[in-house]
Structure 1
């Protein structure tokens, strides 16, 4: 499978619309800048969507699920069976993101790109299984070039489905036992930082578990040293199928002009990889929340990003992005529906 599609041009933001949105903000019945980031994010969405009155009615949330061979190293507090069990929970509507999507009126789909245990046919779950989990990144490459291409394409396909439903914003989420190990390894490689600066407890490791996880990641970084200057190879050697699918989705969304709201630690590692592979996509990425995982701050700083909220979240699933969505909707509503000074017959400053 080819990855040539990654070289397709990225859509341009509409700077004329941005200027019009900025001018409107100056005319609304409030002191300029008094609504802070609610103003700036509304302007950004206007430029991204190419319309002076942005809209966030149609939201597409896609959860990519897969297992990781590095779980064999004992880096997670939970067994790999949980990934498949959670896929079934998503399908039944019992997961956090399921509840949040219903509350938001958002379209939710789940893509199985490689759980160790095949969950079988489930309503709302799309099977694009690359393999029954990735390989162990601590003893070899997490995936082959062909597998990486397949996982990237799964993300691209998800964006195509979102476009078909006239989505106005794309949210990607993750599910995969041991995926914080892969995400931390990716971040350490791309940021050229020691694992100890980035590693966290994931699903609940104690201090000894975190120390062991750090050693496993350092072992992987040493093993793949010769390839770590190439972002595509970093993703192949250290990533996972769901992380690669997220990266593919981010690139594809930027190519078709669909704004993205990036979730937490795993999603941000995918964004970091994607922007290293295709730097031009960065303006299409908005960042939802500051993850409680220690390495997240270093990643968002490297991406020159400022998350919308900080609630000590570390669940994944796209849940942090879903929680931040009402803020974006309020920003859009204020931008679109507040009266101007002229409309309200209110005096402007002297």
Structure 2
């Protein structure tokens, strides 16, 4: 399953893109990151004139046993309640996905709730909540692999329907705790430097959260050289599914817009499995969670936006989709000097 073939993007397609970009009716480089985005899309799609057809934000939901340690400002029941909110179209991600012209796809990978058959929900439940990482592993290795496979399956299914731009999203009360543990282990960073306040916890809860993460790492001894081991011991189902999304998008040569801290923890696992995925990732934003920047820096990714976001769900990624699409529209629709009959700079 992890033998997906992923090739680095080819320089020749960047050359094609920059030749056109440098001949558009503007001073060279004057549209900055928008031009870089367009060139990257040409290289990812291996198409001199690529087109974004259909867009989807894949939102994976799961519960976490570590909420028993009092690390979140919200009770775990909120995970299932928010899944219903997503399905009704009332959450932040629904609003911003509509703005971006993207579909929201909600996938249950580990919510501790029996949804039965709910219209619009994709049921891929692996566990009913993870184990409490402060006392033992989050998942078995087999379940961790299943979670990665789910991310791959969902991308393949939607790609076959014509979707060729995906964003990652998640919902899971307590999931900044396993994300901090994953980032701490894989980037070899002190826990204090990659742990934030999640949904807005107070100082006492924050200190408890740091201690819980340290204990989880000490008890489970995740192997930093084995990303699946890290996922299974201190991660979570939605983190694993997101890593599968990133791996699959890279293998299919389609871009993936990664959201905030939890999504980036998933992308980090994918990167540690195969660093070539980096070429296919757009880092949407730099969140308030301080571990987020550490993970992005580790992968050498620069976020498109910095808006003090910390909601998750895929909200930052949906916003970034609008910027990415703007970059491609500039590339596709702006006239060249020759087409417009405009004189070029002679310098």
TM-score where L is the length of structure 2: 0.97
| 2: CA distance, partners of 1:210 / 1:262 | 26
| 2: CA distance, partners of 1:239 / 1:228 | 13
Which of 198, 201, 217 is equivalent to 1:202? 198
CA deviations over 1:296-346 (Å, ceiling 9, x no partner): 111111111110010000111111010111111111111111111111111
Secondary structure, in 3 states, of the residue corresponding to 1:227?
coil
- Pick closer, same or farther for the CA change 1:112–1:290 going to 2, 3 Å: same
Quick check: 1:171–1:318 contact (8 Å CA) kept in 2? yes
User: Is 1:171 equivalent to 2:167 in the alignment?
Assistant: yes
| 2: CA distance, partners of 1:307 / 1:191 | 18
Per the alignment, residue 7 of structure 1 pairs with 3
C-alpha displacement at 1:12, in angstroms? 4.8
Per the alignment, residue 136 of structure 1 pairs with 132
Secondary structure, in 3 states, of the residue corresponding to 1:23?
helix
User: Is 1:322 equivalent to 2:307 in the alignment?
Assistant: no
Quick check: 1:244–1:270 contact (8 Å CA) kept in 2? yes
Quick check: 1:18–1:52 contact (8 Å CA) kept in 2? no
Secondary structure, in 3 states, of the residue corresponding to 2:98?
helix
Higher mean Cα deviation, 313-322 or 15-24? 15-24
Secondary structure, in 3 states, of the residue corresponding to 1:246?
helix
- Pick closer, same or farther for the CA change 1:18–1:334 going to 2, 3 Å: same
TM-align CA RMSD: 1.3
List alignment gaps of at least 5 residues for structure 2.
Answer: none
C-alpha displacement at 1:230, in angstroms? 2.1
**Mapping 1:151-166, distance limit 5 Å:** 151-166=147-162
| 2: CA distance, partners of 1:57 / 1:257 | 14
Per the alignment, residue 277 of structure 1 pairs with 273
List alignment gaps of at least 5 residues for structure 1.
Answer: none
TM-score where L is the length of structure 1: 0.96
Structure 1 residue runs of 4 or more that deviate by more than 3 Å after TM superposition:
none
Per the alignment, residue 39 of structure 2 pairs with 43
CA deviations over 1:263-298 (Å, ceiling 9, x no partner): 111000111111101222121111101111111111
| 2: CA distance, partners of 1:240 / 1:134 | 7
